[in-house]
Amino acid sequence: MKVGEEIMSIHISNDERLFHIETKNSSYVFRVLENQQLQHLYYGKRIHVKENYGNLASYQTRGFEVAYTATEEQIQLSMIQNEYASYGKGDFRHPAYQVQDATGSRITELKYQGYTLSTGKKRLEILPSTFDDEGDRSEVLTITLKDDLIGLVVKLNYTVFPDQNVIVRNVEFINEGPSDLKLLKAMSLQLDLSDDEFDFIHFSGAWLRERQLYRTALRPGLQSIDSLRYSSSPQNNPFFMLSRKNTTEESGEVYGFNLVYSGNFQNSIEVDHFSTTRVLVGMNPVEFEYLLEPKKSFITPEAIMSYSAQGMNALSQQLAIFYREHLVNPRFAKRPRPIVLNSWETMYFNLTTDKVLELARCGQRLGVELFVLDDGWFGHREGDNSSLGDWTTDYRRLPKGISYIADEIHKMGMQFGLWFEPEMISIDSELYCTHPEWMISTPHRKPSVGRHQYVLDFTNQEVIDYLFEAISSIIQETKLEYIKWDYNRHITDAFTATLLPTKQMEFGHRYILGVYQLLERLTKAYPEVLFESCSSGGGRFDLGMMYYAPQAWTSDDTDPIERLKIQHGTSYGYSLSMMSAHVSASPNEQSGRRTSLDTRAAVAYFGVFGYELDVTALEAVEAEKVKEQIHFYKKYREVFQYGNFYRIRSPFEDDVVDWQVVSSDKSTSILLHTSLISHLNPGYSLVKFCGLDEDKRYTIAGMDEEFFGDELMNAGIKIIPEGAENGPVISTPEYQSHLLIVEEIKD
């Protein structure tokens, strides 16, 4: 049937009461109620566009629930799915926002005023955001709401990216009244679902065990993940999913949510007494207030939501494509990422020019493309208790300077990178002696300390300007191609002299805006420098940082068996090209576990590959193997970094892990099969592939037989225990990996 105004994916009824947002495979529907507030109707598998959905819009009134007003008794806000809910007018669930007016009242009534439609997604000015620079692959719906009594205007923004089944949401609050308003809570996304038959899947952990998978059934009441560390944190990642109870990697309904933000966040799921599920995604309201003066506005970070009816692999794949097309810096989004050799685990703080160049030369002979000099090159830093903030060469240990090292490495044909921790300051530093007031601390109280270091006040523009000049000088001096941006302690003693007492609760958000400002200035001034985020490993693995730094050090834990869990969990919400994964020494420094060089490399292939290894100490056989590994990764780099990734068997559920990447044209695929424990008198393992073309013919490296795609996907391949050809196998080695290389047969 003919519906009113529409632009490709956004349909609006003739009477302006119904809004239907479509993606390739999903629909999102809401309407305007009789009291001019918004009722959410549906989000899920794509349905036909209609003028109205009477059944979905129907609701009941119940005893002991509160009517909106005496003249609108038929509306009980607690009995409907709301689109962006307030508190205090009958909806007793946790609200999406809260505003306090000049009288101290927190009651607001947002009424529908109208809408606007546009094509092309613009970038936000002071926050990292999704984008559509070409202007033809997205549509934007903005709903304007207003509370006339206090002059509060709220704009709900919905950007639809149809091809990736993604809807991006954020909210703008504008004070058009005569008096100050105080914003107490401002979530970016609310979604009310009509039932509670879901599992809550989130990725929590700690340093060295980031993003472990937890899957629990929803229950009545509130469940949440959050951070109050002024960073996204290794404890709870902002990405989470709601799936149907029978949803698997390959089938079933699943919703994914993420936040383009690096500071304090809160993601909550509330199941009410009638089994309605409310999802809220956004900035953490704890330790947050924002003074909204007349004519001023506040914009929330963007939240991403995506839906799949084909299981979690499909959800992850459409998110990976979306990030590549609409979030990551286009300069690096599809560019092959270089193979790295990092100095840290080889020499720690024990730097000399000769040792650095010897390590670099050895890496170059093996095929390394980017040499990274880690911590210890600046100030007078011989340990972790000094010099943070003094971003100038330590000429005592590097007498020819950092520029000499950079020049020599460039002469070897390699790129050069450096480690920075820009947000931190040491008491033992020239910067602290000159500007002690730049350190975050609370007046008249002794500051807390972490890792012998403190945090610079990024709400202070002078701090940002100083760091921009200091880092720029090093970039220019060394012709730098890469920066590892670390952040090794969380903020305490939150206070800043740059804000009035009435605005101190704005500190956390303003700090993150300062970080973004510095990154924005650096990435614009030096567009060819590749940034990698690192926060004691994976403590800032979030989309806010990914906007500037398209890859992140996934974890300080480089044990490949532990990395199977960390990378597996990370892959649900992030792409392989976002995950840095390196080969390190055995026994592993963190776990003490011994693993083969083959297994260490096989796991690290599934990400941005490199080495955290003293390659100067390798035996000849090991060096040759490393050279072969680098050659192999270069050959298949684009498949690993930008192919479709499939989780086939999980380290959280099984003692075998199967991962697979498939090129976009389905001509090449690589499958990793890793055993987590040793089996006595074992049988064979059966592995079934995913994502191939069922009619194409393929070969598998090391096997003479030809296979059709449907055979590999449905019948599978038997992996025979090593040594079986020479007699009975008593046991299989634990931590053994197999790589199955599948290539299309071209006639």
Instruction: Just list the catalytic residues.
Output: 486, 556
Please give the Cα distance from 372 to 359 (Å, whole number): 10
Q: How far is CA 115 from CA 13, 139, 588, 661, in A?
A: 12, 13, 58, 43
Q: Amino acid identity of 453? A: Q
Q: How far is CA 563 from CA 41, 144, 275, 503, 572, in A?
A: 41, 46, 38, 42, 14
Please give the Cα distance from 246 to 606 (Å, whole number): 28
Closest CA to 473 of 549, 411, 403: 403
Please give the Cα distance from 31 to 52 (Å, whole number): 9
DSSP state of 538: B
* Cβ-Cβ contacts under 8 Å for 433 (sequence gap 6 or more): none
Please give the Cα distance from 340 to 637 (Å, whole number): 13
Chain centre to alpha carbon of residue 584:
24
* Cβ-Cβ contacts under 8 Å for 104 (sequence gap 6 or more): none
Two structure tokens written together for 738: 């197999």
- In this structure, the number of other CB atoms found within 10 A of the CB of residue 208 comes to 18
DSSP state of 78: G
Please give the Cα distance from 701 to 705 (Å, whole number): 10
Query: Could you write out the three-class secondary structure of 426-450?
Result: CCCCHHHHHCHHHECCCCCCCCCCE
The answer to whether residues 18 and 300 touch, using CB atoms and an 8 Å cutoff, is no
End-to-end CA distance of the chain: 49
The answer to whether residues 493 and 230 touch, using CB atoms and an 8 Å cutoff, is no
DSSP state of 177: S
The answer to whether residues 690 and 660 touch, using CB atoms and an 8 Å cutoff, is yes
Two structure tokens written together for 30: 């809401």
Two structure tokens written together for 300: 């929330």
Quick one: which H or E segment has residue 353? helix 353-366
Please give the Cα distance from 61 to 452 (Å, whole number): 60
Please give the Cα distance from 242 to 252 (Å, whole number): 11
Residue 544 main-chain phi, psi, to 5 deg: -60, -45
Q: What's the burial of 65, exposed, middle or buried (CB within 10 Å: 0-12/13-18/19+)?
A: middle
